[in-house]
Structure formats: C-alpha cells, structure tokens
Structure 1
C-alpha cells in the first residue's frame, strides 16, 4: 500500500532521543507474517530502497540534525548502503612518514547492543537480552535499533555537543545556522529529494528541541516549508527534557548560572512557540515534567510505571510511546484520515496548539474485559504530558486512540454478564462505540473522535523496562508479581490530543514568564539581531493565541 507519505524532521539531541525510541517502536511493530498483515500502513513514514548489492531496504523517511560529537559511534552515512571502514586499515598512496598529524579524533567505542546489531548470530536474540542502557545510553544512537538512509543525518559542525565554552543555546544561533548556504542548501535539497520520491505526499512531522538553539533552526526550516510547500500540513512536536543537568545546584555560582539558563530557555520557548503558531498546521508541546518552564518541574506520574526523569533514555520513551499512538489514526491502512484532517479538527478559530495525554499501560486486568475496566475505573482516563497543562473534562475537541485490546474482550458473554447487562454500555457492539459512549458521559460538552488499534505497542528491548512487577508480559494487570526473568513485551495504551481551555492557560503562563524578562539583558539574542520590538511582537502573538482558547470562544 502506498501514498499519503509523510516526511519526518528531527532537530536537537532530546528530539532525537524521542525519535530514536519512536523509530525503534515502529520497527518492532513490523509483521512479516503474510497471513496476519499489520494494520499499520508503514509506507506513510518509511521508504523502500535498494542497496548497490540489490538488497531491498525499508528505512524511515527521515531527516535529522544534531551537533558534532552527539552521534556516538553512528556514521553519518550509516552502514546500510556501504560498510563502515576502519581508517587504520585504509591503504593510502602517500608517504605517511611525511604527514604531520595535529589532531586525531577518536571514534566512539560501540556498546554491547550495537555490537550485537552487527553480529548475525546475536541479532535474533537482541530483544531478549539484558542491556544496561541506563548507564550506557549517553547519546541517542547508543540504543538505535533502526537503520537509516545515508541522506538522513545532518551534522552541525560549527558547534560541539556539550561544549560549555560555545553553547548552542539561543534561538538566534539556530537561525544563523540555517542562513549559512552550506546548511540551508544541503538540508533543503535533502527535503526535495525525499518528496520527489513520493506518490501522494501529504506533509511533515517535525520533532524539535525548543529550549535551545534548535528552536531557531527548526523555526527557520518551518518557514522554508511554508514558502515551498504551503499546501502541505505540518504537525510540530516541540519536546522539553524532564531534567536539565544545570538544575542540580551545589554552589551560589551554579545557582546564578542555572537561573540565567532557565531565562534563556524561556525566551527560546516563547520565540519558537510564536513561530509554530505562525507556520505550522498544529503544534503539540510534550514534556514528562509537569511545569516545562522555567524548570521542567516534578515528573509526571503514571500508574504501573517507574522511571527516572533524570534519564533522557527513560523520559523520551514515554513521549515516544504517546507519539506513536496519537499519530496512529493517520497511519492505519483502514483509515483515509490525513494530517490536514487532524489539523482541521483541532485548530478552529486560530487554536494552533493542542495538549497531549497518555495512559500507559492502559489499566486492564489480565482476565477482565473493557466494560469492567471502565466501570471500575476511579483514576483519570489519561494523564497530561503537555507542560503547565492540566487537561480538563469540558468544552473540548479531542482525538482519543486506544490500542492493544481485542474486540473479544469488549464485554462478558451474555450467559456470564450478570449485572453487566444492566449497563447501557453493554449494548455497544465494539470498542470504538463503547469508548465513545464512555467519553460522552465523562466529558461535558466535548466532541470526541475515537480511534482503535487492535495491535499493542511492542516494548521489547531497547525500550526501557520501566513497568511495575504487577503487569503480565503483555501489559495487563495481575495479582501475581512478575519474575525478573519475564519482561513486559507489549502493552495496551491510550493516548489523546486535546483542544481545550487549559491549552490557552498553558500559553498564557509562558507569555507571563517571558514578559518578565528584559531581552536587552541577554546579549546572545541581541547580538543575533533580535531587538526589543521583535521580542514584544512575539509575546503579543502568544497572548493572542492564548485568548483564542477563552471559554466564550468554544461552541
């Protein structure tokens, strides 16, 4: 099945953490059994190719950018179309005794997981082996299972990853990188090359850091997309880490630097949200921290999940699981739904921003049915993963996706139903109808669109084992504790996108925080050409966006 192609763009280190988990999850969902074909149309996000040896490849339709030194052992061209070459074994024609070497850049050693990926004897065992990613995953490529096309990776060589002397930390620095002919021409050519391969290209997913200079780089790219492909839809996913290392304070000097860094991050957020408002079809901020700004704040809590919010490897996995689920509707074979349909549903009256939610795993007993689970549910149906946003239950438009529950587990059979037969929901015929009824009762004056995916989310390694011991291997609740040898391999999951008044309050909180800051005091922005009037105009636009979510605007 072909058509409806989407090109994914990733900007920044944390965005690439989220993206790596997302591509890993999708690769794990591939079904190679022709008798049980996948319900997902993988052609939407993947492209078919061929190596020089005639081998067929299926790789993400993806472009990503990150700083020099942030790729670990990953080659820029990858090893899919040509093998990695050890420079020490290369035959040369020049006299090496006459060469003067001033600097040798050491190749990063590969961890056990990456070594096993290259070993055919170990490849089949890789999802059942124990890898200590909590300590070995320093960069996102350390747990990358997917194989990339040679044109996927773009390295920003002017800046070094984690270099405190020349940090890539301000919106204007990212904008300046895009203006360099070397980057802009190369990156835009790669975009064109991908799109020219498509039969029925529909738009872009853009996942980006929004607290550092990648906010400016992605905003400039978004402006280019608007000029060149203004009829195509763009879903922007700004991501915020759930922890910044400079927030671990041990001295007065570190405190002062942390406060300054927090202020710079707020400015980057305000400037980028303004650009997303102007140039995207829809943008959905994600963060596993509850505040997002000035600091990420306390971590979001999920029942039956235990994760370390200081590890990007953990927090990005939660965001990726939600991303994979709330984008499912426009990736299903059975659905003609598109990105433009999603934007049309959630962006009435200039409401370009939406909130996201997730419940992982969806709380359902191993011997229960969906009706019993919903009827006995006293906890929230979903938990917000959008910063500074508590998702309400009234006056909203929402897309809810539930996956991993078979239709035969809808309700008890008639001869065993007992009191279930008295419930109005017992008369529903499928999961979609039951969930729609439940949402109609639990959310006031809210329009809900429900999508059902019957295949669960596969969470085998390299996805982190962050699930509590009261879950079975397929992610359902049990009275028995799972042994350490048995891992959770798949989970049922619910995720949503919400347009509601609380989104306006989220935007307003960012506006108020950014309004406190005097832009002229932050030389990295002023030297980049951002003056007070331009900054004030961006803030005014944010305030206008927040007003679009006023209660009186909702019908």
Structure 2
C-alpha cells in the first residue's frame, strides 16, 4: 500500500476539499452497483490510498478520508469538530478552582443543518421499508432533490453545508482564538504566530502524525492551502514542521484562491500590502515543497476554462467545484490499480506514484518547481480527424501565465478519464492513448516529454454539486448540438457524470507569475527606502531574509529564462 495523506488549510482550500471528498464518496457509493454505468461501478481505483479503515468505540467499522483540515474557529457550521461518526462532544470548561466570584456562561445558538444535511441524516436513520413505501419514497425523493439543489444554490455559507462525507475525529481542527473574519486575516503577517500559539502547532503535528504513522508506506502529502491571507503563514510553519519530521516524504502543494481574493484594494497602501503578501507567501511556501501549483483565476466565470460552464464568481461553492474536479483528475494516477498490458478491457493505464510525478516535473536540469494546471470540463469527444483540437481545449487554471508561449523544454503530465468516443460511447484506454499520440503528431508544438494517464471512469456528479453546466451539456457530459429551448444552468439532477482532462506542466509560460512576485518584492520590500519596508518589518521579516527570498525567486526566473536580467537592485 502506498498511501496519500491530504492536508487542507484555510477557507477556500476546505471548500475545494469538500467537493473533492464528495467525488470520492460518490465513487465509493457507485462501486459494484449493477444499476450504474460499468465505467463507474468498476473504476479500477484503489480507494485505500486516500481512505483509512477504523472502528468506533461501539465496534462499528468506519471508512474515512486520511485528511487533516485546518480552519477558523466556527468554520464548521452545523458539524462538530469530532465529525459525525464517533458521537463525541467537547467537554465543557470546568470552573477555575481559584476563582471565587460569579461565573457567567455565554453560548451562541448552534447553526442549524440545511435541507441537504437533514436529508442525509434521515436517510441514515432509515432501516428497512416495504416495496410500496419505497415507490412512494422515490417519488418524494425526486421532489426533495430539487428542493435540496435550490437550497444549496442559494444558501451555502460553510464548506460543511454541502459535504456528504463522514470525517474522523482527528481530521477537523479549528484554530483557537481565530474566528472567521477574512477582512482582518488578509495578509501574511496576520498568521505569523498562530502556529506557535497555545501549542496549536504541536496539536496539528500530532494529528498529522496519527494519519502518517498508521500508513504502511506513505507515498506523499497532498497539501491544499488558501494562500490569499494569513493562512499562508500558518501553512508555512506547518510545512516547515513537516519537512523537519518527514524528511523523505514529498509534498505536492496546491496554493488556491477564490476570485474575490483578487479584488483590487481601493488605496495604494492596501495595494502594496497585497503585492508584498503575494511575493512573500509564494517565496516562503515554495521553499518547503517538491512542487508548487498555483490555482485560481481572478475571473473563473468569464475565462476560457468556463466555456461550457456558468460559474458565479461570487460563490465559493461554484468556483471550488471546478478546481476540485481538476484536483480529483490529477490524483487518479496515484491510486490506479497496476494492471497488465493495455487492452480494451482494462479500466486505466499510466499509474504514477507521487515521487515519480514530482521528479518528472521538478527534477529536470532547470529545476523548475512551479507547475501550471490546465483543465477542460467537460472534455470534448475524442474522434478523428479533429483529435488535435482536444489538446487545445485544455485551458489554464493558474493565473498570470503566458498563454501563447511555446516552450520546447516543457514537461507535462496529462490525465484523461471518462472520454467519449464516436457514438458517445466511453473510449477505451488504448483508444485514448492512440488519439493523444496522434494529436501530438499533428500539433505544431510538442513538449519535450509527456506522460499520459488514462482511465475509463468519468467524473461522477454527486447531488450537492452546484448547477454550473450550460444547457449544451448532456447527462453523460456529452456536448449537445441541439440543447433544446431550456437555457437554464444544469446540475446534478441533469448531468450524472462528465469526461475530464487535466494537465500539470513545467513550462516557462509561468515566467510572468514569477517575475511579478520578484519585481514587487524588490520594489516594495528590498530596495533602499522601499515603501513596504516598515510593513514587512511588522510582519517579522529582517532585511537578510527578504534578500534571501529575492535571490530564491530570481534563481527560479533565471532557470526558466537564462537570458533575462535578474540582477539585484537592492543597492
């Protein structure tokens, strides 16, 4: 067994994680189901890579994500920090023995479960029903599902509001004394000492240790952090702890941001603070991982990646679903069953362990440790002679990159699953491989190296998935030529699965992203008389550390473009 442990830090990271684990839960529910599509019921994925088996004190067997989630106090909504399986409640604070005065207790009203969560609870309480009552229940369920979809579209406040997954008591960690207030927790300095306060760092490390030490052979840590504010510095301290304790365990780091985090401040001081945060956050985070993947567009809803989607950028519930779908696709090679020679009957091909992927993308002569994420959902049909256009449909989900740059030294890892062929049938693994080989042969540009992972299993669309598909998307993710008169957005009641393609690439197209961070750090933080010098000092940075970060960013830029001038301007 080669397990993967997942860490989610911050608000938007946990929104993405909620959708990610919903996909996994849906796959578990469909596995072996004779009434579902064979590509979903026999997906050929080893779910033990991401999940752990356990047992409650009452002897009930459990199967929960190997996950540590970190967030604000009060960010779990109606869910207990102990999860829902083990029926534990935090102990009430006992009176202090030395205090002789009056004691008053203040309690806020608990956040009530929404219709979706209530329906999950009621479903689990049902034991056995007669055939007649089942038929009646099915009719009622259809009506209730529509109400649930409407409820989620208009009422999601917390990431737990749409989570259909049971979590282990060690998984959900709320930071003490840090209540949900993004306006005050919007820069690197705000989270600088959170990890060390009140033994919180030790508690987080102990929880991660619980999941790692029970693994037979952990292949890596999938780490997702909302780096738009103070959680980036919390993540840096935690990553440093991980690097010290698990020296040989590779970390794949996704730094994620919602569209609202890109809103430009109205005053110059806030602009400088945001630019410095972006530079410092990236420089520090990248120093503690094998590979860093920036994810999150300023305007996802209006981007090329949303060609067949209707994403409301103001709803994290919408945006996080798109990014979670891409992260799900990229995780498939880590848990594909290792099978024999390729044939039309096998479910997947191109299994890749964690370390091999990271070495492939970050271990070349240029030492590029920043990868670009591209995706297309739903993926177009694979059919001749237009197969070349399949690759052109992959659109970046990484911001601030050059979309027209062709890098002959680029390295790519491409994942395609659930692809449809002629006649809207699932394409076999061998057909996918042949089609992509042909696409690269026909293309005017070819990367130096590309690894392809292919699977027949599409992305399942669970009930709490948002209604973000356009009218031309069919129930199996096919693109309809005649979508009909209904122009409203479609969701899980209309679309049951979609074909997906996602790609990580190491390319010089990421140069604008890196150069912007280097330039801003030097201009506002390193140069003599820099406008942000005092701010960075308040964040706890000395001049020597800032210069080291500047040199680190400069070496990344130089590695991708040896002819660029990145000499220091600090004098």
Normalising by the residue count of structure 1, what TM-score does the alignment of the two structures yield? Answer: 0.83
Could you say what the CA RMSD is over the residues aligned between the two structures, in angstroms? 3.2
- Partner in structure 2 of residue 454 of structure 1: 456
The match for 1:155 among 149, 170, 174 is 174
State the shift of 1:525 in Å. Answer: 4.1
Quick check: 1:112–1:131 contact (8 Å CA) kept in 2? Answer: no
- Partner in structure 1 of residue 239 of structure 2: 222
- Partner in structure 2 of residue 308 of structure 1: 312
CA deviation map 1:87-134 (0-9, x unaligned): 9xxxxxxxxxx9753422221122111111111279995867523323
Quick check: 1:355–1:503 contact (8 Å CA) kept in 2? Answer: yes
Quick check: 1:288–1:315 contact (8 Å CA) kept in 2? Answer: no
The match for 1:266 among 270, 275, 288 is 275
How many Å separate the matches in 1 of 2:330 and 2:48? 18
Quick check: 2:68–2:173 contact (8 Å CA) kept in 1? Answer: yes
- Partner in structure 2 of residue 193 of structure 1: 210
Q: Which runs of 5+ in 1 are unaligned?
A: 88-97, 248-253, 291-295, 414-427
- Partner in structure 1 of residue 113 of structure 2: 110
Quick check: 2:413–2:450 contact (8 Å CA) kept in 1? Answer: yes
State the shift of 1:203 in Å. Answer: 1.4
State the shift of 1:260 in Å. Answer: 4.0
CA deviation map 1:496-554 (0-9, x unaligned): 0011111233211222233332477476642342123322321221121122112779x
SS in 1 for 2:375: strand
Counterpart mapping for 1:334-345 below 5 A:
334=338, 336-345=351-360
The match for 1:384 among 366, 371, 396 is 396
How many Å separate the matches in 2 of 1:48 and 1:182? 29
Q: Which runs of 5+ in 2 are unaligned?
A: 35-40, 93-100, 127-137, 339-349, 565-571
How many Å separate the matches in 2 of 1:300 and 1:241? 17
- Partner in structure 2 of residue 329 of structure 1: 333
State the shift of 1:157 in Å. Answer: 1.7
State the shift of 1:489 in Å. Answer: 1.4
Is 1:119 aligned to 2:126, yes or no? no
SS in 2 for 1:162: coil
Change in 2 beyond 3 A, CA 1:409/1:344 = farther
Is 1:401 aligned to 2:415, yes or no? yes
Higher alpha-carbon deviation: 394-403 or 130-139: 130-139
How many Å separate the matches in 2 of 1:200 and 1:430? 33
- Partner in structure 2 of residue 29 of structure 1: 27
- Partner in structure 1 of residue 513 of structure 2: 506
State the shift of 1:436 in Å. Answer: 2.5
Quick check: 1:289–1:299 contact (8 Å CA) kept in 2? Answer: no
- Partner in structure 2 of residue 238 of structure 1: 255
Change in 2 beyond 3 A, CA 1:467/1:297 = closer
CA deviation map 1:278-322 (0-9, x unaligned): 2211110001326xxxxx996554221111112111111111111
The match for 1:211 among 228, 239, 247 is 228
- Partner in structure 2 of residue 40 of structure 1: 45
Is 1:374 aligned to 2:387, yes or no? yes
- Partner in structure 2 of residue 466 of structure 1: 468
SS in 1 for 2:193: helix
Higher alpha-carbon deviation: 205-214 or 115-124: 115-124
- Partner in structure 2 of residue 293 of structure 1: none
Change in 2 beyond 3 A, CA 1:177/1:549 = same
Change in 2 beyond 3 A, CA 1:168/1:13 = same
Quick check: 2:420–2:499 contact (8 Å CA) kept in 1? Answer: no
Change in 2 beyond 3 A, CA 1:101/1:289 = same
- Partner in structure 2 of residue 438 of structure 1: 439
How many Å separate the matches in 2 of 1:277 and 1:441? 36
How many Å separate the matches in 2 of 1:198 and 1:86? 30
- Partner in structure 2 of residue 418 of structure 1: none
- Partner in structure 1 of residue 567 of structure 2: none
